[in-house]
Amino acid sequence: MTLDPAGPPEQTPGAAVRTDPSRAAEPTGSWRELLGPEHLAASLVLAGGVAVYAMSAFVTAALLPSVIADIGGGAYFAWVTTSYMVASVLTSTLVARTAALLGPSRAYLLAFLLFAAGSVGAAMAPSMTALLGGRVIQGMGGGLLAGLGYAVIRDALPTHLWTRATGLVSAMWGVSTLIGPVLGGAFAQLQMWRGAFWLLALVALALGLTSLRSLPGRGDRTRGVGPLPVPSLITIVLAAAAFSIAAVAPSGGPMLLWLLAGALLLVGFVVVERAAPSSVLPRMTYRRGNPLKWLYILLGILSATAMVEIFLPRFGQELAGMTPLLAGIFGATVSIGWSFSQIFSVGAERERSRRILMILGPVLVTGGLLVFTATQHAAPAGWAIGLWVVGLVLAGTGVGLAFPHLSVAAMRSSDDPVEGAKAAAGVNTAELIATTIASALVGLLVAVGGSALMGAGIAALGAVGIGVAVLALRRRRS
């Protein structure tokens, strides 16, 4: 059975869509159409939600020294990010359910209101504990925003614009990497750290009002979302918390113990999901032979690549003697490659071209990070630094080439409304879980072997991604 570009596939609910790789071009629309009058407001909400979520993390990181100097609480430094991430993972698993019950526009309004409330709480915080409370509420709204950015594409836009919309939404992670630290640094320089949170709150409120006018308003309570998957939610939140603690734990035994606990809880999540009457991810994820689980794993591997940026500014200053400004730019090289490559990759219309890009992505990630690893020196020359940049941009390019097409493949994996919504929301859940795990893994690799081991470790992960990509595409064909 093939997917007819002119209409929906004839298929039983919940079954995976089977595509015919030999078919001719399938229209992808254009940037002009996506950003034209008819779809501009919806595109702004979809991309803006992900942007404010991602930007908040980078803005807050740049503000933290000023925050601690003002209200104290240096002992809770790492928890400002950890609390935000764990809350985000929790609500990201509720995206499909929230959109079904409230409808896309009201789901977005709820998410933006939560994010704005958390931002106001952070802006008014008299102490670090109050700031942490604000960050938890911010993260709850942010997790919904990041997931809705993928899940609502199905309802808000025509099918031929899904790939470009996915590229636009995922590009916001890279854009936030560039703008977030600059914005946070500017407010810190002006000694107005609270103003940054007020600005985030205002932007969230403006986008929330826009969502009411630009997105479908009604939910679909007939979708049968089922009971709340409490055991799955508890297990995945505990796993995210364990990996987050591992990222800030002392290197050595404590970090390894938290990583092991996180890994065991992640396995437990899969076991619970397979047996539970209601699940976070689509049921077909766990069916034998279904490609969706491999698509999620590959999306997670590609997302993990960006976590090397956590330590790049430090390496730029310590190993290459860069100024803080230049090191900050160097730290965004993966995101630069990711963002710009997506602009071109989303134009691929033939199924064969998309399949090539899905495999080429992890190949470039592996090759780029191997170039970075092979050119590590105690006192690198200019040519070596140039190769660092080339390798990292190449790795980011691999992410950008494959990510939109993998995301759309997951979104199209079912015509059943419930399973399809879960599949789309699962893209973000996989991304958040992967980045949480990768941040801890990168910290461990740096603690043990510095920049060279970090590059080699993530390159090895990319090599695994090549095999996963081949397996996923074979499953799709069969």
pLDDT of the residue at 44: 95
Identify which of 217, 210, 214, 203 has the alpha carbon closest to the alpha carbon of residue 99.
Answer: 217
For residue 338, the Cα-to-chain-centroid distance in whole angstroms is 12
* Interhelix angle 417-477/253-275, nearest 10 degrees: 110
Highest mean pLDDT: which range of 207-211, 278-282, 283-287, 425-429:
207-211
pLDDT of the residue at 318: 76
- Sign of the Cα pseudo-torsion (224, 230, 231, 236, in order): positive
Residue 29 confidence (pLDDT) above 90: no
Interval 230-243 mean pLDDT? 87
Residue 24 confidence (pLDDT) above 50: no
DSSP strands (E only) in 219-279: none
Q: How many angstroms separate the CA atoms of 60 and 67, rounded?
A: 9
Q: Which two tokens stand for residue 78?
A: 């790492």
pLDDT of the residue at 309: 80
pLDDT of the residue at 220: 57
pLDDT of the residue at 363: 96
Interval 130-146 mean pLDDT? 94
Domain ranges across the chain: 31-217, 229-277, 282-478
Interval 250-271 mean pLDDT? 88
Query: Tokens 């390019």 sit at which residue?
Result: 397
Angle at 420 between CA 417 and CA 422, to 5 degrees: 110
pLDDT of the residue at 432: 81
pLDDT digits (tens, 9 = 90+) for 197-235: 999 999 999 999 999 988 887 655 545 566 778 888 889
* Interhelix angle 417-477/292-305, nearest 10 degrees: 90
Q: Which of 2.130.10.10, 3.40.50.720, 3.90.1150.10, 1.20.1250.20 would CATH assign to domain 31-217? A: 1.20.1250.20
pLDDT of the residue at 142: 93
Q: How many angstroms separate the CA atoms of 449 and 132, rounded?
A: 32
Percent of the chain with pLDDT over 90: 29
Q: How many angstroms separate the CA atoms of 304 and 366, rounded?
A: 12
pLDDT digits (tens, 9 = 90+) for 153-184: 888 888 888 888 888 888 887 788 778 877 88
Architecture field, domain 282-478 = Up-down Bundle (1.20)
Residue 373 confidence (pLDDT) above 50: yes
Highest mean pLDDT: which range of 154-158, 274-278, 384-388, 457-461:
457-461
Interval 181-198 mean pLDDT? 87
Concatenating the DSSP letter of every residue in 272-305 gives HHHHSSS-SS-GGGGSTT-SHHHHHHHHHHHHHH
pLDDT of the residue at 211: 93
Concatenating the DSSP letter of every residue in 136-156 gives HHHHHHHHHHHHHHHHTHHHH
Q: Do domains 31-217 and 282-478 have the same CATH topology?
A: yes
Count of all residues that appear for the chain in the document: 478
Q: How many angstroms separate the CA atoms of 83 and 258, rounded?
A: 16
Q: How many angstroms separate the CA atoms of 400 and 395, rounded?
A: 9
Buried b (16+ CB within 10 A) or exposed e, 156-194: bbebbbbbbbbbbbbbbbbbbbbbbbebbbebbeeeebb
pLDDT of the residue at 86: 84
pLDDT digits (tens, 9 = 90+) for 98-119: 888 888 999 999 999 999 999 9
Residue 242 confidence (pLDDT) above 50: yes
141-145, 249-253, 349-353: least confidently modelled range? 249-253
pLDDT of the residue at 458: 92
Highest mean pLDDT: which range of 90-99, 136-145, 215-224:
136-145
- Whether pTM > 0.75 for this model: the answer is yes
